[in-house]
Structure 1
Amino acid sequence: MARACIALLLILTLPAHALTFQTRMEEVEWSVEGDKFECRLTQPVSGYGDAVFVRRAGERPVFELKAWNNLMRPGQAQLYNDAPMWQPHARARLLGFTDVSEDRIAVRVAQQQAGQMLAGLADGLHPTIQRTAWANAVEPVRVVVSSIGYQKAWGEFQKCNAGLLAMNFEQVSRSVVSFADGGSTLSASAKQLLDIALEYIQADKEISGIVLEGHSDNVGNRLDNRELARQRALAVRDYLMQSGVEEEMFTLRFHGDRYPVASNRSADGRAKNRRVTLKLDKS
């Protein structure tokens, strides 16, 4: 029933004629570029711009349409995987809607729908974005990403993805190292998290500083808690220094129980408050 409704919706909402931008079969090209921080799978769309799947370290791929000259009116566009003419029995698959902006990157598609677009390409379908045009144009604008040559390009994209770091800058900068009740010793899981953060710190030459902030729960007196928070921040610093991070990179702050992130009335809340947060600065 649901599939029938989707098919009917497509029939009702996709006009027979549209101003279509699609690269000719014999001219379709894919390229893969990237490093430890980001991988990009790109197909130029003739006359319109670049269709790019972007995967950042620690994240799933997203999709971006970089328009050379955006002819779509800002607003909601339809997003679907269209069936090519050489698949007469295949049907278009509606993926939902996405926003069109006036920016250089005219369309940004989030991870879930981008994953559906990639799955469509693997099935030989053409991810398509359709939106009304500027001015009083009768025909909508349709931008099509071709599946020609996708399998080989996907293999190269996967090779690039395999070299990505486990976390990106924002994720490392939100790292929280947890501690046992009353302790300042790093657990195995804490060391594993710091090893991942360390890999990023060593790879990104723009990192100019590391801020460590120690915290505790409210068990005990305030002075003891502040000292415990200091010992925890020092434990994190010393672990990173043992792996080659220079001492001048660090700024340490210790707050004791002044800034809880959860209620100290429960064991779970107190566990969340026993922490050192790590933040990276860039030059």
Structure 2
Amino acid sequence: MEIVVRRMYCALLLGVALPVQAITFQTRMEEVEWTVEGDQFECRMAQPVSGYGQAVFVRRAGERPVFQLEATSNLMQPGQAQLFNDPPPWRHNLRASVLGAALVENGPVTLRASQQQAGQMLAGLASGMHPTIQRAAWASAVESVRVVVSSVGYQQAWTEFQTCAGGLLPLNFDQVSRSVVSFASGGSRLTDEAKALLDTALVYIKADEDIGVIQLDGHSDNLGDRLTNRELSRQRALAVRDYLMEQGVEEDLFTMRFHGESYPVATNASNSGRQQNRRVTLRLEKN
């Protein structure tokens, strides 16, 4: 690898035209290794890529896996990279499949691929294919950089990754922080559906010791007068707080605001819009 890169730079300095070719970063087959680590919040399955960094599949609680490329030495230009599932040299009966594009950026995480692309990569690895990322090199418009993820040893790593995923919480921090508890018209009683939502959020709240604030914002639709609606939004926020406290959440974690009808998220001209506006939003902040 060093010889290829050194030759490329020397040729550029001398003004010699280079043929279109790829600088390939790939770990030798006998040196490929996977590592799997994680906790109840996130699982990571990583493969070091010689000379480049590492390829990582990340699965957060409540989500499907995504793929990211982490660079210690990145020669790719920022911009759209192409993703492929390439067959290994000894699988002549297989053809490469294009997985689309993903953005190369500066920084330690060079590229992030979508959940759909990560799923296609994982399926490719399971069938013996090598997920490959290709992008133009920094040093030359006619040279490209290829990073290849090997399928060697994948099945054992996948088994460990699945075991880790089985211990993940049902939701992650971002998902809990988007929780919206709905209420019936004119009411502040928690429905069974609302309690089920809060029970799921509770699993995360109790697991994450770094949570320092639980922000509750009460809202109403515009039926009735403003003072009544503000009081109704207060009663709704209190209902959520009291339920969480009954399940063991400390009172000093809560901050509450009561907005009445001031901040609708949908039109109050329809039943469905008013239903969306009768709500308490839950936000988390970490210490």
The alignment's TM-score, normalised by the length of structure 2, stands at 0.90
- 61, 75, 78: which one aligns with 1:74: 78
1:32 counterpart residue number: 36
Matched, 1:179 2:187: no
Measure the CA separation in 2 of the matches of 1:260 and 1:91: 53
Instruction: Tell me, in whole angstroms, the C-alpha distance in 2 between the residues paired with 1:132 and 1:261.
Output: 44
Q: What SS does the corresponding residue of 1:217 show, helix, strand or coil?
A: coil
Report how far residue 135 of structure 1 moved.
1.6
Which residue number in structure 1 is paired with residue 103 of structure 2? 99
Q: Which residue number in structure 2 is paired with residue 236 of structure 1?
A: 240
Q: Is 2:46–2:56's contact at 8 Å kept on the other side of the alignment?
A: yes
- Matched residue pairs, number? 269
User: What does residue 213 of structure 2 align with?
Assistant: 209
Q: What's the counterpart of residue 89 of structure 1?
A: 93
Q: CA deviation at 1:204?
A: 0.9
Instruction: For 1:57 and 1:41, locate their aligned partners in 2 and report how far apart those are by CA, in whole Å.
Output: 14
TM-superposed CA distance for 1:268, in Å, is 0.2
Using the alignment, how far apart are the partners of 2:177 and 2:45 within structure 1?
27
Determine if contact 2:20/2:143 at 8 Å carries over to the other structure. no
Find the counterpart in structure 2 of residue 12 from structure 1: none
Amino acid at match of 2:264: P
2:68 corresponds in structure 1 to: 64
Identity across the alignment (%): 69
Which one is further off, 266-275 or 93-102?
A: 93-102
Residue equivalent to 1:247: 251
Matched, 1:266 2:270: yes
Describe the superposition over 1:256-282 as per-residue Cα deviations: whole angstroms up to 9, x where unpaired. 111111111100011001100111111
SS in structure 1 of the partner of residue 51 of structure 2: coil
1:213-247 deviation per Cα after TM superposition (whole angstroms, max 9, x unaligned): 11111112222211111111111001100111111
Q: Are residue 155 (structure 1) and residue 159 (structure 2) matched?
A: yes
| More displaced 10-residue stretch of structure 1: 68-77 or 240-249 | 68-77
Q: What code does the residue aligned with 1:45 have?
A: V
Residue from 110, 114, 123 that aligns with 2:118: 114
Q: Is the 8 A contact 2:220 2:278 kept in 1?
A: yes
- CA gap 1:203/1:236 in 2 versus in 1, 3 angstroms: same
After TM superposition, give the deviation of residue 86 of structure 1 in Å: 2.2
Work out the CA distance in 2 between the residues paired with 1:182 and 1:102: 52
What is the CA distance between 1:104 and its match in structure 2?
Answer: 1.1
Equivalent residues of 2:85, 2:131 under 8 A apart: yes
The amino acid of 1:29's aligned partner reads E
Amino acid at match of 1:175: S
